[in-house]
Amino acid sequence: MIVTVTPNPALDLTYSVDALVPHRVHRVAAVAERAGGKGVNVARVLHAIGEPVLATGFLGGATGGRVTDLLTADGVAASFTATAAETRRTVAVVDGGDATGFWEPGPPVSAAEWSALVAHLGDLLAEADVVALCGSLPPGAPIDGYATLIRLAAAAGVPTVLDTSGEALRRGLAAGPTLAKPNAAELTALLAGGDSAADLADTARALAPDAGAVVVSRGALGLLAVTGDGVWAAGPPVPLPGNPTGAGDACVAALARGLRDRTAWPALLADAVALAAAAVAAPVAGAIDSDVYLRTLPRVTVTTADGGPRARTHR
Amino acid sequence: MIVTVTPNPALDLTYSVDALVPHRVHRVAAVAERAGGKGVNVARVLHAIGEPVLATGFLGGATGGRVTDLLTADGVAASFTATAAETRRTVAVVDGGDATGFWEPGPPVSAAEWSALVAHLGDLLAEADVVALCGSLPPGAPIDGYATLIRLAAAAGVPTVLDTSGEALRRGLAAGPTLAKPNAAELTALLAGGDSAADLADTARALAPDAGAVVVSRGALGLLAVTGDGVWAAGPPVPLPGNPTGAGDACVAALARGLRDRTAWPALLADAVALAAAAVAAPVAGAIDSDVYLRTLPRVTVTTADGGPRARTHR
Cβ of A63 and B61 within 8 Å?
Answer: no
Q: Which of B12, B144, B249, B271 is catalytic?
A: B249
Cβ of A17 and B102 within 8 Å?
Answer: yes
Does residue B87 belong to the interface with chain A, where contact is any CB pair within 8 Å? no
Q: Give the residue-averaged pLDDT of A98-120.
A: 96
Question: How far apart (Å, rounded) are the C-alpha atoms in residues B194 and B253?
Answer: 27
Give the closest residue to B178 by CA, choosing from B227, B232, B137: B227
Query: Hey, of B67, B90, B98, B102, which one would you mutate to test binding to chain A, going by the most A CBs within 10 A of its CB?
Result: B102
Query: Hey, of A17, A28, A72, A86, which one would you mutate to test binding to chain B, going by the most B CBs within 10 A of its CB?
Result: A28
Q: What is the pLDDT of residue A306?
A: 52
Residue type at A2?
Answer: I
Cβ of A15 and B102 within 8 Å?
Answer: yes
Sequence-ordered list of residues with C-beta below 8 angstroms from that of A29, at least 6 positions apart, any chain: A16, A17, A18, B105
Does residue B25 belong to the interface with chain A, where contact is any CB pair within 8 Å? yes
Q: Give the residue-averaged pLDDT of A201-211.
A: 84
Enumerate the residues of chain A whose CB falls inside 8 A of the CB of residue B105. 27-31
Does residue B244 belong to the interface with chain A, where contact is any CB pair within 8 Å? no
Nearest to A91 among B22, B91, B105 (CB): B91
Sequence-ordered list of residues with C-beta below 8 angstroms from that of B277, at least 6 positions apart, any chain: B236, B240, B247, B292, B293, B296
The answer on pLDDT for A2 being more than 70 is yes
Enumerate the residues of chain A whose CB falls inside 8 A of the CB of residue B28. 102-105
Backbone angles phi, psi at A305, to 5 degrees: -65, -25
Query: From A104, which residue of chain B is nearest by alpha-carbon distance?
Result: B28
- What ranges make up the beta strands (E) of A97-166? 100-103, 130-134, 160-163
Q: What is the pLDDT of residue B21?
A: 93
Does residue A101 belong to the interface with chain B, where contact is any CB pair within 8 Å? yes
Does residue A10 belong to the interface with chain B, where contact is any CB pair within 8 Å? no
Q: What is the pLDDT of residue B313?
A: 42
Nearest to A102 among B26, B63, B89 (CB): B26
Element (H or E) spanning B44, and its range?
Answer: helix B38-48
Q: Side-chain half-sphere of B183: how many Cα atoms within 13 Å?
A: 16
The answer on pLDDT for A79 being more than 80 is yes
Q: What is the pLDDT of residue A99?
A: 87
Cβ of B66 and A62 within 8 Å?
Answer: yes
Enumerate the residues of chain A whose CB falls inside 8 A of the CB of residue B24. 100-101
For residue range A187-201, what is the model confidence (pLDDT) as tens digits?
999 988 888 999 999
Return the minimum-mean-pLDDT range out of A243-247, A278-282, B44-48, B114-118: A243-247
Element (H or E) spanning B234, and its range?
Answer: strand B230-235
Enumerate the residues of chain B whose CB falls inside 8 A of the CB of residue A35. none
For residue range A131-166, what is the model confidence (pLDDT) as tens digits?
999 999 999 999 999 999 999 999 999 999 999 999
The answer to whether the CB of B246 falls within 8 A of the CB of B34 is no
Question: How far apart (Å, rounded) are the C-alpha atoms in residues A151 and A157?
Answer: 10
More confident residue, A312 or B203: B203
Q: What is the pLDDT of residue B86?
A: 93
The answer on pLDDT for A128 being more than 80 is yes
B249 belongs to the catalytic site: yes
Alpha-carbon distances of A238 from A156, A180, A208, rounded to whole Å: 41, 25, 31
Nearest to B100 among A23, A31, A98 (CB): A23
Q: Which residues pair with A288 in a beta bridge?
A: none
The answer to whether the CB of A244 falls within 8 A of the CB of A210 is no
Q: What is the pLDDT of residue B245?
A: 75
> pTM score, two decimals?
0.85
Cβ of A27 and B103 within 8 Å?
Answer: yes
- What ranges make up the beta strands (E) of A143-222? 160-163, 179-180, 213-217
Cβ of A95 and B17 within 8 Å?
Answer: no
Q: Give the residue-averaged pLDDT of A63-87.
A: 96
Q: How far is A250 from chain B (nearest CA, A)?
A: 21
- Interfacial B residues in 52-81 facing A (CB < 8 Å): 61-63, 65-66, 69
Query: Hey, of B11, B15, B28, which one would you mutate to test binding to chain A, going by the most A CBs within 10 A of its CB?
Result: B28
Q: Which of A12, A144, A163, A249 is catalytic?
A: A249
Does residue A178 belong to the interface with chain B, where contact is any CB pair within 8 Å? no
> Which residues of chain B, if any, have pLDDT below 50?
307-315
Q: Give the residue-averaged pLDDT of A80-95.
A: 96
Q: What is the pLDDT of residue A123?
A: 98
Nearest to B24 among A24, A26, A100 (CB): A100
Q: Which residues pair with B227 in a beta bridge?
A: B213, B230
Cβ of A27 and B100 within 8 Å?
Answer: no
Query: Hey, of A102, A103, A104, which one would you mutate to test binding to chain B, going by the most B CBs within 10 A of its CB?
Result: A102
Q: How far is B101 from chain A (nearest CA, A)?
A: 4
